[in-house]
Amino acid sequence: MKEDYDIFGDIMVFDTTYRTNKYNLICAPFVGVNHHWKNVMFGCAFLADEKVESFQWLFEVFKKSMAGKCPVSLFTDQDQAISNAIEKVFPETRHRLCLWHLYQNAVSRFAKLKSENSFKDAFKKCLSGCVDETEFESCWRSMISEYKLENHPWFNRLYGLKEKWCTGLSKDFFSAGILSSQRSESTNHAIGFSAKKNTSLTEFYGIFKETLKHWRSKEQKDEFQCSRSMPESALPLTGILKHASEVYTLTIFRYFEAEFFKSISSSSIIVLLEDRMMVYDVSSYDNAGLSHRVIFDCFSNLITCSCKKFEECGFLCYHCLRVLHINSIFTIPEYYIKKRWTKFAKSEIWDKFSSTTGRLEKVDDCFLWRHEMTRKFYNLVLQCQENEEAWMIVEEGYNRDSQAVNTLITTLTSTEQSDTSIYLNSSHIVQDPTRSVTKGRSQRIKGHFQKNKKKKTVASNSITAKEFGSKTPNIRLL
């Protein structure tokens, strides 16, 4: 879990909606997203209450166990105690609220608005449909005035927390495109799927371990598929699309491929051309009225877009891909390849594991042999300790064996040195010996079975040879 957190700990979801029924304890898992867009577990805790002190203690312990590393974005539900604890323990972390919980609260709290589909659409627009702060403010004011919510305390309090839930105001922080804590909810569902009302903590721990085992098995399967197969695409895998298929995992490649398809069906207009800087306005044919400003440095291949998809999700948007394609850039610039999304996200762990495994195998073999020989010689010494003649036999044997071992080691060392010097000083090239035709080699009389076998082989292949103009080998069933 610590190794996974070192790689994928920039995004974390913390949810406390699941409880063990027998003891009414709060299960609080720390969940992340790996490079295959699957759940990965960083840790799990049980809490007896939901006070600020409890959450603060839990976050401090988690932070200490992860060597002080803090996530970039932390998703939770709308709980004031959790929010206060995050501000104290993770002051530089971007706290994000669960959009799913906010939407359910808004719909369930106001019975008269449940049947208003226009209200649901307007609220969804404010949550995740706005591009920037200007559009959000316009949509929010329109919704509040239309449904007479100016003096409602819940909506006023929600507006004060707009930086924590509005996607249009949080594009400068990496969030992997997660808009809610539904990943944590799916985690709770997976853990509590087989739990019952009388499930104890030990039984729950077994369920928890089986869930992790299943998750890691799926990750190994995904790793194998990425290493052994290439993704299929409706377009030829050439240029920047081919580079993406070689770098990204299969799941992330699908997201990149969708952006690439959008770039094909988009239009671009160059606005400014000054020295090395190019400024474009890129828009899709579906929504020609909405365009995004793209700034491209043709010398360093640095590119930025007003939609800020790379800053938010970790891969380029279709606006940037359109401009790169226009300027004949056929590979993704290295700066815009986020390692956490690539096939080699865990390369450091693989190298560490391979080097450690080989070293441990050698050390383990030596340790076992030393342990076995120490036990044998110790038992021999115990048998001889009360007999002086036995002492002499053991001492003579020790002197004889130690002298033989020293002679052997000296001989092996000198042999290795001489072989190395001969190899280094040698300049001869060893070639194959010349072939010689022995007397009577071609005059050997063949046997009866060998003659018949040759005739049968020619007869069986004659039809095939005439039809295709070449011989084919006999078909043999293995």
pLDDT tens per residue, range 3-44: 999 999 999 998 887 766 677 788 888 999 999 998 899 998
Whether 44 and 138 map to the same domain: the answer is no
Whether 336 and 243 map to the same domain: the answer is yes
Burial class (CB in 10 A: 0-12, 13-18, 19+), 350: exposed
Q: How far apart are CA 438 and CA 229, in angstroms?
A: 53
Q: What is the mean pLDDT of the chain?
A: 81
Confidence class for position 329, pLDDT limits 50, 70, 90: very high
Percent helix, percent strand, percent coil in the chain, to nearest 5: 55, 15, 30
Determine the pLDDT at residue 136: 92
Domain with 155 in it: 114-173
Any idea how long the chain is?
478
Total domains, the chain: 4
Q: Which residue has the higher pLDDT, 361 or 240?
A: 240
Report yes or no on 259 lying in a domain. yes
Report yes or no on 393 lying in a domain. yes
In what helix (H) or strand (E) does residue 404 lie, and over which residues does it extend?
A: helix 388-425
Whether 76 and 224 map to the same domain: the answer is yes
Per-residue pLDDT averaged across 356-371, rounded? 64
> Which tens digit of pLDDT belongs to each residue from 36-78?
998 899 998 988 888 999 999 999 999 999 999 999 999 988 7
Q: How far apart are CA 243 and CA 257, in angstroms?
A: 11
Portion of the chain with pLDDT greater than 90, in percent? 34
Whether 333 and 273 map to the same domain: the answer is yes
Whether 363 and 271 map to the same domain: the answer is no
Report yes or no on 245 lying in a domain. yes
Determine the pLDDT at residue 333: 93
Write the CB contacts of 46 (distance below 8 Å, at least 6 apart in sequence).
20, 25, 26, 27, 28, 201
Whether 395 and 246 map to the same domain: the answer is no
Strand, coil or helix: 11:
strand
Report yes or no on 161 lying in a domain. yes
Confidence class for position 446, pLDDT limits 50, 70, 90: low
